[in-house]
Amino acid sequence: MEPYIEIKAANPDCLLFYRMGDFYELFFEDAEVAARALGIVLTKRGKHLGRDIPMCGVPVHRADEYLQRLIMQGYRVAVCEQLEDPAEARRRGGKAVVRRDVVRLVTPGTLTEDALLDPRRNNYLFAVARARASSGDESRFALAWIDISTGEFRLAERDRGGLAAEIARLEPGEIIVSDALYDDPELAPYLRSLPHVTPLARDVFDGSTAERRLAGYFGVSSTEGFGALSRLELTAAAACITYIERTQLGERPPLSPPAREAQGATLQIDQATRANLELVRTLAGERRGSLLAAIDRTVTAAGSRLLAQRLAAPLTDPQAIAVRHNAVAYLVADASLRADLRARLRSAPDLARALARLVVDRGGPRDLAAIRDGILAAAAIAAELERSAEVPEELSQAAKALRLPDPALAAKLSAALADELPHLKRDGGFVRAGYDGALDEARALRDESRRVIAGLQARYAEATAVRALKIRHNNVLGYFVEVTVQHGEKLLAAPLNATFIHRQTLAGQVRFTTTELGALEAKIASAAERALGMELAAFDDLAAAVTAAASTIKRAAEALAVLDVASALAELACERDFARPDVDGSLEFVIEGGRHPVVEQMLAAEGGTFIANDCDLSPPRPDSEGRIYLLTGPNMAGKSTYLRQNALIAILAQMGSFVPARRARIGVVDRLFSRVGAADDIARGRSTFMVEMVETAAILNQAGTRSLVILDEIGRGTATFDGLSIAWATIEHLHESNRCRALFATHFHELTTLAARLPRLFNATMRVKEWHGEVVFLHEVIAGAADRSYGIQVAKLAGLPPSVIERARAVLAKLEAEDRTSPRGFEDLPLFAAAPAVPHSTPRDAARADVMAALATLYPDDMSPREALEALYALKAKANNGK
């Protein structure tokens, strides 16, 4: 056990997969942990210090599957391989142990294997470094993230809110921080709420050695070529690099030089908004039903990853957005080019990931074939684009990148690789016959010897007169002669026993060897071994050629993804009748005939039609800020759908897509906020009203004139008057302080009176028709206010018992007679003031509201005299509170 204990001691924070023959074995505590996590059998093997050693194992050929399950559960695994053949060890001496060592650490953020990765998603390793705030200032954070399976490498500097927003956008597979940061009282609760955070020793985050480490990885003398990076950025970048080197045991996956993402270059969308708008997955956690699933028409995995990236980070520069729109427009107009591109892309392999595996020496013959096919597809697509006239910038840039890889490399790979390829290089047989003369010779010898064995069998059968005599092969005995027990006697006796040497007797058979067979076997084995050795050498040679061309291959891979996204968005635009939006630097927001991209597709699948709606949040006067829509209407009328569709249209426009509308003109949005009132928020089990208020606070503190805010039924999660008051004050704040464009849906139609005094507040409502006491939803947004909430009609639609509906009607009539729908006093509230000296509401107001709320729930007809008296006492007590 000594070698094991030594290696385990060097990797204390990992489960150790210890290679023994065809299994990876785990021992001691690791075995107990893994057996539980994987649901496999825990056994024991030998004793250590007088106690049984717990053990479990996974077969090597299924290791990926078990690794994935462990990684998903947050474990890290050190893979320890045999570095020599057991035979070699034996040659070194009777008791020599096979040399073994850890060849890599498998962690969630440093995966390259296809089996461990989702082809359609990036998997980022993400490092956070912090510069302590000088007194009064906020802390600054440098972030670095790398997808080693594609080579993408980015940097950014952000404040605390920006840090959370980037983590929400990128959803890293693994986040690394220094021990110190992990235990920082201010950040600890947040960091511990995230999946897969790995705290690391401080040296990884040492700023003084950062530049040297980063430059060393790229083999340059200074990092100046990467742009002027701050010391904090260098620290985060070097932490990622060092962690990769440590987990890959020195192998260096091909990375692009770090590119900085400037603050403000992308639309900021916080975690709650992303979740709420169901951008990449639904609130229930599924891809199906998300915006991404609804718009994804890409045909390659790399294209799908890029589309998800762009959706997660829409742009804010109108010019950069137009570059993307130009490409989509071109491919919308040229349907045959689009179809050709998509057909060719469909057969293009995942170049980036195949490349990453080959460079870190984890690739197989099929990865080489992927490089060959990718280079050929790239060249063919470039030719296609070069034939087209006046290609827009994004496409012509891509065409140029596609021409970068050397066609000679593809030719070399074509010449070397066989038509049928094994998955693993150690299976051999992947080098084409005729590529390497010496290899062909060794193979011929191997195959020839096999024929000789067949001849030998015939000869032995004749000599022994045992027609059923066979020469067989297995891994334990190698080649052997086999006869049934009945004939065995004969071979065991003279004179045949001079030739046939007994090896094994089984229930039905007896097995022998002969000197001649032994010699032949040695010859076959050495020929096969030589052939495989030559194939492996050829593989290394080809992989080295690919590695040397890594940077051009990577650029071509990126270009293929860009083309896939552009043609997929064009395909989507044609299929779903999307229009090119106008995005500029104004504060306008005009959507004509807008639709919800996801709901529309769902309705279409069921044979329904979606009703298109307009929206105009543009400034009412040239020098003013944008509008706020106050949208009223009954439940189920389509308010939430309308709110979201306008936010989604803004996101689609700024990510470079066409939009589901007849026409759209959008003054660039810099931050997007979306919140749903607690009553609607079923996906979360937390104290929902508190969450709703925390999130609303975040909006009121952060939204600016260029932001777009979506508030859906805020104030629903508490008592009516509380909720109404909060909604009231929130609208005033949005109008007077934030001055943003906003959509506010509410069932408090009392709020519509605000429009009389807030010039940029616009009342809109969902049209409904009443029809013999039933409500018909027209899903149409019109100017004006809902006259009532139709709650009882909706309840009737939902199937409440008729007696309950009748009773509710009676109560409502009574309440309306008391004029509860426009509570006196609201119109007289002073307008919102940024920092009011005295609170608007006095204890007396609160008491009155309390009494009113209590009264509304009393049904005198249902009370006994005694209950009525008690209720009266309770009301009196509430009234006294206000004194």
111 binds, among ligand ADP, Mg ion, none (CB under 5 to 8 A by kind): none
Q: With CB under 5 A, what is the number of residues at the site for Mg ion?
A: 1
For the bound state, the minimum distance from the C-beta of residue 637 to ligand ADP, rounded and expressed in Å, comes to 4
638 binds, among Mg ion, ligand ADP, none (CB under 5 to 8 A by kind): ligand ADP
What sign does the CA torsion over 124, 130, 131, 134 have? positive
Q: Give yes or no for residue 640 binding Mg ion (CB under 5 A).
A: yes
- The residue among 24 and 744 lying less far from ligand ADP, judged by its C-beta, is 744
In sequence order, which residues have a C-beta less than 8 Å from that of residue 74 and are 6 or more positions away? 108, 195, 196
779 binds, among Mg ion, ligand ADP, none (CB under 5 to 8 A by kind): ligand ADP
- The residue among 609 and 864 lying less far from ligand ADP, judged by its C-beta, is 609
For the bound state, the minimum distance from the C-beta of residue 719 to Mg ion, rounded and expressed in Å, comes to 20
For the bound state, the minimum distance from the C-beta of residue 610 to ligand ADP, rounded and expressed in Å, comes to 4
Site string for Mg ion, 585-624 (x = CB under 5 A): ----------------------------------------
Which residue is nearest to ligand ADP, using beta carbons? 638
In sequence order, which residues have a C-beta less than 8 Å from that of residue 789 and are 6 or more positions away? 634, 635, 747, 749
Query: Which helix or strand (DSSP H or E) is residue 528 part of?
Result: helix 515-548
Residues that bind ligand ADP (CB under 6 A): 599, 603, 610-611, 633, 635-641, 779
599 binds, among ligand ADP, Mg ion, none (CB under 5 to 8 A by kind): ligand ADP
- The residue among 483 and 786 lying less far from Mg ion, judged by its C-beta, is 786
611 binds, among Mg ion, ligand ADP, none (CB under 5 to 8 A by kind): ligand ADP
Q: Which window, 150-158, 315-323, 468-476, 634-642, contacts Mg ion (CB under 5 A)?
A: 634-642
- The residue among 514 and 763 lying less far from Mg ion, judged by its C-beta, is 763
For the bound state, the minimum distance from the C-beta of residue 596 to ligand ADP, rounded and expressed in Å, comes to 7
Number of neighbours of residue 92 by Cβ within 10 angstroms: 12
- Return the closest-CA partner of residue 471 out of 503, 517, 525, 506: 517
Name the burial class of residue 367, with classes exposed (0-12), middle (13-18) and buried (19+) by CB atoms within 10 angstroms of its CB.
Answer: buried
Q: Which residues pair with 140 in a beta bridge?
A: 131
DSSP 3-state percent helix, strand, coil across the chain (nearest 5): 50, 20, 30
Amino acid identity at 537:
A
For the bound state, the minimum distance from the C-beta of residue 745 to ligand ADP, rounded and expressed in Å, comes to 6
For the bound state, the minimum distance from the C-beta of residue 636 to ligand ADP, rounded and expressed in Å, comes to 5
Q: Can you read off the two tokens belonging to residue 646?
A: 């306008």
Q: Which window, 280-288, 528-536, 626-634, 636-644, contacts Mg ion (CB under 5 A)?
A: 636-644
DSSP helix/strand/coil, 572:
helix
How far apart are alpha carbons 669 and 588 in whole angstroms?
10
| Cα–Cα separations (whole angstroms), residue 489 to 53, 457, 463, 477, 481 | 46, 19, 15, 21, 14
Number of neighbours of residue 320 by Cβ within 10 angstroms: 14
For the bound state, the minimum distance from the C-beta of residue 779 to ligand ADP, rounded and expressed in Å, comes to 3
428 binds, among Mg ion, ligand ADP, none (CB under 5 to 8 A by kind): none
Chain residues 310-329 in contact with Mg ion, contact rule CB under 5 A: none
What sign does the CA torsion over 112, 117, 122, 125 have? negative
Q: Can you read off the two tokens belonging to residue 166?
A: 């980037």
855 binds, among Mg ion, ligand ADP, none (CB under 5 to 8 A by kind): none
- The residue among 379 and 797 lying less far from ligand ADP, judged by its C-beta, is 797
For the bound state, the minimum distance from the C-beta of residue 612 to ligand ADP, rounded and expressed in Å, comes to 7
In sequence order, which residues have a C-beta less than 8 Å from that of residue 35 and are 6 or more positions away? 26, 41, 42, 54, 56
Which residue is nearest to Mg ion, using beta carbons? 640
- The residue among 398 and 786 lying less far from ligand ADP, judged by its C-beta, is 786
For the bound state, the minimum distance from the C-beta of residue 726 to Mg ion, rounded and expressed in Å, comes to 18
- The residue among 609 and 857 lying less far from ligand ADP, judged by its C-beta, is 609
| Cα–Cα separations (whole angstroms), residue 112 to 247, 258, 305, 352, 354 | 12, 19, 15, 10, 9
Q: Which window, 92-100, 388-396, 567-575, 635-643, contacts Mg ion (CB under 5 A)?
A: 635-643
- Roughly how many angstroms between the first and final C-alpha of the chain, as a whole number? 81
For the bound state, the minimum distance from the C-beta of residue 681 to ligand ADP, rounded and expressed in Å, comes to 13
Chain residues 742-771 in contact with Mg ion, contact rule CB under 5 A: none
- The residue among 514 and 640 lying less far from ligand ADP, judged by its C-beta, is 640
Q: Helix 207-218 vs helix 231-247: angle between axes, to the nearest 10 degrees?
A: 60
610 binds, among Mg ion, ligand ADP, none (CB under 5 to 8 A by kind): ligand ADP
How far apart are alpha carbons 438 and 734 in whole angstroms?
79
In sequence order, which residues have a C-beta less than 8 Å from that of residue 62 and are 6 or more positions away? none
707 binds, among ligand ADP, Mg ion, none (CB under 5 to 8 A by kind): none
How far apart are alpha carbons 581 and 573 in whole angstroms?
11
Do residues 790 and 768 lie in contact, with contact meaning Cβ atoms separated by under 8 Å? yes
For the bound state, the minimum distance from the C-beta of residue 712 to Mg ion, rounded and expressed in Å, comes to 6
Long-range contacts of 56-65 (CB under 8 A, 24+ apart): 56/25, 56/26, 56/31, 57/20, 57/23, 57/24, 57/25, 57/26, 58/17, 58/23, 58/24, 59/22, 59/23, 60/19, 60/22, 60/23, 60/24, 61/22, 63/17, 63/24, 64/113, 64/115, 64/116, 65/115
For the bound state, the minimum distance from the C-beta of residue 746 to ligand ADP, rounded and expressed in Å, comes to 10
445 binds, among Mg ion, ligand ADP, none (CB under 5 to 8 A by kind): none
743 binds, among Mg ion, ligand ADP, none (CB under 5 to 8 A by kind): none
- The residue among 279 and 398 lying less far from ligand ADP, judged by its C-beta, is 279
For the bound state, the minimum distance from the C-beta of residue 639 to Mg ion, rounded and expressed in Å, comes to 5
- Site for Mg ion, rule CB under 5 A: 640
